[in-house]
Amino acid sequence: MNNAPITNPDHGLWAELEHYVEQGWLRALDLALARWLAQQVPSTPESVLLAAVLTSHQLGRGHICLDLAALLEDPDTLLSLPPAGRKADSRPADWLAGLTLAQWQATLAEAEVVDTEEAGTAPLVLDGQRLYLRRFHRFESQVARSLLARQALRFELPDDVQARLAALFDPLKDESERAGQTPHWQSIAAALAARSALAVISGGPGTGKTTTVVRLLALLQALKQDEQRAQGLEPTGLRIRLAAPTGKAAARLSESLAATLGDIGEGKVAGVEAGVAKVIPTDVSTLHRLLGARPDSRFFRHNADNPLHLDLLVVDEASMVDLEMMAALLAALPPRARLILLGDKDQLASVEAGAVLGDLCRYAGEPRYQADTRGFLFRATGYDLDAFQGPGSDIEQQIVMLRKSHRFGADSGIGTLARAVNAGSASEAKSVWPRFGDITQLQPASVSDAALRLLVLEGQAEGLEGTPKGYRHYLEVLSQGLDDNGCGPEQDAWARAVLNAFGEFQLLCAVREGEWGVSGMNERVSTILAKAGLIQSDAPWYAGRPVMMMRNDYGLGLMNGDIGLCLPFADDMGQPVLRVVFPMPDGSLKRVLPSRLTEVETVFAMTVHKSQGSEFAHTAMVLPADPNPVLTRELVYTGITRARRWFTLVAPRPALLDSAIRQRTQRASGLGERLK
Ligand SMILES: Nc1ncnc2c1ncn2[C@@H]1O[C@H](COP(=O)(O)OP(=O)(O)OP(=O)(O)O)[C@@H](O)[C@H]1O
């Protein structure tokens, strides 16, 4: 590696990088950044320009920064360059040969385009062995500062808090938890959340996150109302808002809250007074909507100068919140507002860069509570947590992991498989399949395999018990509602029934490209359904076409990831016209002219990434036939846990599942360290 500036951009490393861009292995943007830096400061050494290219490349792959030390250890693997199975004249390891960490750091530190401190204006920031684009360094330090300040903000709790918590949570405890032999983590989560302006509650599917939050909100509203009464004020309670990263996730939380609060309102929920239903909202908005997204701008209406009007914010599916969004959210929160983050730390990180929940919850599995925290928890809940003591950081004191799945117990294949995958045990995962009737695996010889066709159409695969559905089901619900002219009824009930039936089954793919990826599977499924006479896919828009928004469309009020179905309705003459129907977070349906949807994709198959925040009764996850760096434990776990009732793995090469389970996703970031 040359520490001199680049003299001839047509040769050597520069030409090689160009070749990587032409191959689509690097983004044009990555190289453009280095070119721009070289233009601004022509004396910039080649090793600095290369560092800039690679930082940008890594950012595009979700990493907040470039970890120089990790890179030098194994450049090709860290960068996934050249991509698996592809050949190149030279590789990153060649480009970096001979460069030591100390040399590189020293050269970077001296470069005009690099700052080594937060203050400054250089486009790159070197922080120890991490190199950042300035914007992301700023987001990271803002997020860390804000989370630390918020966790340090403590609220006074009344002396009877233990009795109040017990009244709310005792009905949820099993015998051992009631006897104090096993900690009841839901009560512990609520106690910690009550005392501070920050709480993080992580848990897998069905571990009771929503249940905990409802009871926690009941407690906090009662406390606030008591305080307001004591001050002679109207007992209006806290201004509570609820949000989630996607429309689908928002709709799911809203539905779940509405059902729970409905039961509470009817006095059916032990430990919770009926009146609580009136002081907890069920409206859940997307984070974009909450913050007041502006079309074509990354700025929001709500920010530090115009904070949100709320006292408490619950954010569900927090694993999907990227660093930039978290920075915007924290900036817009009033300083004394409470923030409660809910999510599953083991799921895939956000699509955009960062892994905020993962960074926060690094030690959540083996909590390290300080003496002070344990003392508080003993007073508030009666549980002795000495078995969970340790030198945990301050932020860790506000983090709880819920461990018991109330949906997927020991008799559930989905739960058992998900736990084996999460534990990284490929052998255990292998042994799970034959023992349960809710999970199965297919090993199709090709995409034309009859077993794959049966799965897609009927939802059936050998080993599954009960009546899982395939795509035939929703298409039949669709056609059964049509009149003689082929038009659906005007009332929403039919469209809702078709949408619900569509949610019964979903194919997920680990990768986008290739015959086993989203593009290939979408094509394959269309062919299967057309051959079965269930769709007429010769025109781009046809009855039954499911589509996903690939971008936010503020004009239409639809967000990236929203899913709609193309359905026929009657025009003035009673003839069918197609409209795409989207379920909205508030429970309403929106009908859109197909021609207005310019950035949508057919979604018979979607990536596991895009499926986050959604659940389907029967989920089938398709793995590719060739190794791919995206195949990781987090991806497999996320795919499995999208299934509510049945899970089918489609694996042309089952060995790839084993290697995926062993492969962890690590996103480079300095957030974990800053939060210490
Ligand atoms: N301690 C408990 N004992 C028994 N059942 C519980 C307990 N906590 C929650 N449940 C029940 O378990 C189910 C899942 O709970 P909940 O919806 O709160 O979980 P969740 O973690 O929010 O799930 P997800 O986010 O995956 O939808 C619900 O039916 C709920 O009533």
**DSSP string covering 98-135, please?**
T--HHHHHHHHHH-TTEESSSSS--SEEEETTEEEEHH
Q: Which of 165, 211, 217 to mutate to test the pocket of ligand 1 (most atoms within 8 A of CB)?
A: 211
Mean pLDDT of the chain: 92
Is the confidence at residue 170, as pLDDT, over 80?
yes
**Two tokens, residue 273:** 């007074």
Query: Quick check: CB of 467 below 6 Å from ligand 1?
Result: no
Ligand 1 centroid to Cα of residue 351, in Å, is 27
Query: Quick check: CB of 203 below 6 Å from ligand 1?
Result: yes
Query: Quick check: CB of 343 below 6 Å from ligand 1?
Result: no
What is the percent of the chain with per-residue pLDDT over 90, rounded to a whole number? 78
Q: Which of 174, 186, 217, 406 to mutate to test the pocket of ligand 1 (most atoms within 8 A of CB)?
A: 406
- Cis bond before residue 82 (omega within 30° of 0): yes
Query: Quick check: CB of 407 below 6 Å from ligand 1?
Result: yes
* Residue 89, pLDDT score: 87
The 10 Å Cβ neighbour count of residue 645 is 19
The 10 Å Cβ neighbour count of residue 315 is 27
The answer to which of 3-17, 540-554, 607-621, 640-654 has the lowest mean pLDDT is: 3-17
Rounded to an integer, the average pLDDT of 264-288 is 87
* Residue 501, pLDDT score: 97
Query: Quick check: CB of 172 below 6 Å from ligand 1?
Result: yes
Residues of the chain with CATH 1.10.10.1020: 13-128
286 marked ligand binding residue = no
Rounded CA-CA distance 642/606 in Å is: 12
207 marked ligand binding residue = yes
- What is the fold, at CATH topology level, of the domain defined by 143-407? Rossmann fold (3.40.50)
Query: Quick check: CB of 453 below 6 Å from ligand 1?
Result: no
Query: Quick check: CB of 211 below 6 Å from ligand 1?
Result: yes
* Residue 86, pLDDT score: 84
- The residues near 229 (Cβ < 8 Å, ≥ 6 apart) are 235
Ligand 1 centroid to Cα of residue 256, in Å, is 10
Q: Give the residue from 479, 461, 498, 496 showing the smallest Cα distance to 648.
A: 461
Q: What is the pLDDT of residues 409-465, one digit of tens each?
A: 888 999 999 999 999 999 999 999 999 999 999 999 999 999 999 999 999 988 899
Q: What is the pLDDT of residues 598-611, one digit of tens each?
A: 999 999 999 999 99
Q: What is the pLDDT of residues 283-309, one digit of tens each?
A: 999 999 999 988 777 789 999 999 999
Q: Which of 168, 172, 200, 210 to mutate to test the pocket of ligand 1 (most atoms within 8 A of CB)?
A: 210
Query: Quick check: CB of 209 below 6 Å from ligand 1?
Result: yes
- pTM across the whole model: 0.91
Q: Residue 401's pLDDT band (boundaries 50, 70, 90)?
A: very high
Q: Give the residue from 635, 631, 608 showing the smallest Cα distance to 619.
A: 608
Q: What is the pLDDT of residues 223-240, one digit of tens each?
A: 999 999 999 999 999 999
- What amino acid occupies position 563? I
* Residue 185, pLDDT score: 97
- Given a contact cutoff of 8 angstroms between Cβ atoms, the answer to whether 632 and 349 are in contact is no
The answer to which of 52-66, 139-153, 257-271 has the lowest mean pLDDT is: 257-271
* Residue 2, pLDDT score: 53
- The residues near 593 (Cβ < 8 Å, ≥ 6 apart) are 579, 580
DSSP-derived 3-state class of residue 130: strand
Q: Give the residue from 317, 315, 348 showing the smallest Cα distance to 329.
A: 315
Rounded CA-CA distance 574/576 in Å is: 7
Q: Residue 4's pLDDT band (boundaries 50, 70, 90)?
A: low
Q: Which of 185, 401, 407 to mutate to test the pocket of ligand 1 (most atoms within 8 A of CB)?
A: 407
Comparison of pLDDT for 84 and 615, the residue scoring more: 615
209 marked ligand binding residue = yes
Between helix 655-662 and helix 633-640 the angle, nearest 10°, is: 110
Query: Quick check: CB of 579 below 6 Å from ligand 1?
Result: no
Ligand 1 centroid to Cα of residue 345, in Å, is 17
Query: Quick check: CB of 130 below 6 Å from ligand 1?
Result: no
Closest C-alpha residue for ligand 1 atom 31: 211
Look-up of token digits 């009662």:
222
Closest C-alpha residue for ligand 1 atom 9: 208
Rounded CA-CA distance 280/239 in Å is: 9
**Two tokens, residue 58:** 């890594």
Ligand 1 centroid to Cα of residue 615, in Å, is 15
Query: Quick check: CB of 145 below 6 Å from ligand 1?
Result: no
Q: Residue 3's pLDDT band (boundaries 50, 70, 90)?
A: low
Ligand 1 centroid to Cα of residue 216, in Å, is 14
Rounded CA-CA distance 171/574 in Å is: 56
Query: Quick check: CB of 406 below 6 Å from ligand 1?
Result: yes
ipTM over 0.95: yes
Residues of the chain with CATH 3.40.50.300: 143-407, 413-662
Alpha helix (H) ranges present in 206-340? Answer: 209-230, 247-265, 287-291, 323-332
Q: Which ligand 1 atom is nearest residue 260's CA?
A: 31
- Which H, E and C letters describe 154-174, residue by residue? ECCCCCCHHHHHHHHHHHHCC
100 marked ligand binding residue = no
Rounded CA-CA distance 374/371 in Å is: 5
Q: Which ligand 1 atom is nearest residue 205's CA?
A: 26
Query: Quick check: CB of 206 below 6 Å from ligand 1?
Result: yes
CATH architecture for residues 13-128: Orthogonal Bundle (1.10)
- CATH code reported for the domain at 413-662: 3.40.50.300
**Two tokens, residue 419:** 């736990």
* Residue 269, pLDDT score: 85
- The residues near 232 (Cβ < 8 Å, ≥ 6 apart) are none
* Residue 271, pLDDT score: 80
203 marked ligand binding residue = yes
Is the confidence at residue 9, as pLDDT, over 70?
no
Q: Give the residue from 521, 526, 518 showing the smallest Cα distance to 447.
A: 521
204 marked ligand binding residue = yes
Ligand 1 centroid to Cα of residue 211, in Å, is 6
Closest C-alpha residue for ligand 1 atom 8: 208
Q: Which ligand 1 atom is nearest residue 214's CA?
A: 18
The 10 Å Cβ neighbour count of residue 443 is 12
Is the confidence at residue 324, as pLDDT, over 70?
yes
Q: What is the pLDDT of residues 189-227, one digit of tens each?
A: 999 999 999 999 999 999 999 999 999 999 999 999 999
Query: Quick check: CB of 268 below 6 Å from ligand 1?
Result: no
Query: Quick check: CB of 612 below 6 Å from ligand 1?
Result: no
Q: Give the residue from 337, 304, 306, 312 showing the smallest Cα distance to 150.
A: 337
* Residue 8, pLDDT score: 47
Closest C-alpha residue for ligand 1 atom 1: 172
Ligand 1 centroid to Cα of residue 205, in Å, is 8
